[in-house]
Amino acid sequence: MGGLSAEREVRCARARPARRPSKPKALLSQSSMSIAASLRPLAKLKPDVAFKRAAWAVRRGRHYAGHLEMLRIPYTHSGVLASALAMRKDRAKELFRAAGIPVAEGVTVERSVAAKSHVLPPPYVIKPVDEGSSVGVLIVREGANAPPQELTNKDWPCGGEVLVERFVAGRELTCAVIGEKAYDVIEIRGADGGWYDYKQNTPKEAPFTSFRQILKENIYQMFKQLAFVAHKTLGCRGVSRTDFGMTTRPAERGARVLEVNTQPGMTETSLVPELAAFAGLQFGELVRWMVEDASCDR
């Protein structure tokens, strides 16, 4: 758990609750800021499986999966290429467009450019190009006079480039792919009914709603198909989660793929376990499947 990105704190907090006294024996390893130092104990221990909960650092050209490959330790989740592509949101969008997957209009610019003036007409969203857990995401509302001043902070932790995307007004939905199957579609809402960001972590009573009985069957199946195609387009393995914006604006009506998360949260009330539970796959069964699915050359 842990890692080198700005979401390190989130990864550490969310890994601990997922640990259980169990057989076979499970060990919790917190990565340091040095990948070599983090993996030295693994090389000595030679575990049967590595359950990856560490955040990657694509910006620095390093990824834990690559080191696990060299050590030939089977691991969960996607391999180096899929994870790097998914984390680099603008590159992933290029592949999605080529595959015919609808995405929100956007442009990648230097943070200093996004801080000077509106790159897109408000409302729009500013995202670090290679962070997760909604770290560094800023929403610029309609009527805003200037871009967010947070972009000018000297201690900004999210790199020099940002993705500026047109805000998809409507609902935010998500769908998980587990193995070769797309699971349920649920709406993502914050505890107060608003935006669900990482600071809320995972509330004890998760405010999630299955959309199986809400959406028309063809629309419901469309979301599942888009999630599966996005998963395959990036070359994901194991478990992934695709987030959508479903806009209700007449001129933009429809779904937009926002991003694919190749290493989604794994507490019992995180989104993927919730999606699996709606389909009858309980948390312990999901974790067991992920461990048994682990391999090298992913």
Residue 298 lies in a domain: no
Please tell me whether residues 218 and 93 are part of one structural domain.
Answer: yes
Task: Give the chain's mean pLDDT.
Answer: 81
Half-sphere exposure of 262 (CA within 13 A, CB side): 32
Q: CA-to-CA distance for 147 and 119, rounded, in angstroms? A: 9
- Cβ atoms of 33 and 62 within 8 Å: the answer is no
- Cβ atoms of 174 and 265 within 8 Å: the answer is no
Residue 220 one-letter amino acid: Y
Please tell me whether residues 147 and 173 are part of one structural domain.
Answer: no
Residue 16 lies in a domain: yes
pLDDT tens string 154-199:
888 888 899 999 998 888 899 999 999 999 999 886 544 454 554 5
Identify whether 41 is preceded by a cis peptide bond (ω within 30 of 0): no
In this predicted structure, the answer to whether residue 30 has a pLDDT above a threshold of 80 is: no
pLDDT tens string 53-67:
765 444 444 567 888
Q: State the residue range of the domain holding 184.
A: 85-103+169-293
Mean pLDDT in residue range 12-16: 52
pLDDT tens string 107-116:
999 999 999 9
Looking at 115, 142, 166, which one is the last position of a domain? Answer: 166
Q: Residue 187 is part of a domain; what is its CATH number?
A: 3.30.470.20
Beta-bridged to residue 128, according to DSSP, are: 162
Query: pTM score, two decimals?
Result: 0.82
The total number of structural domains in the chain stands at 3
Please tell me whether residues 209 and 127 are part of one structural domain.
Answer: no
Q: What separation, in Å, do the N-terminal and C-terminal C-alpha atoms of the chain show? A: 19
Please tell me whether residues 268 and 179 are part of one structural domain.
Answer: yes
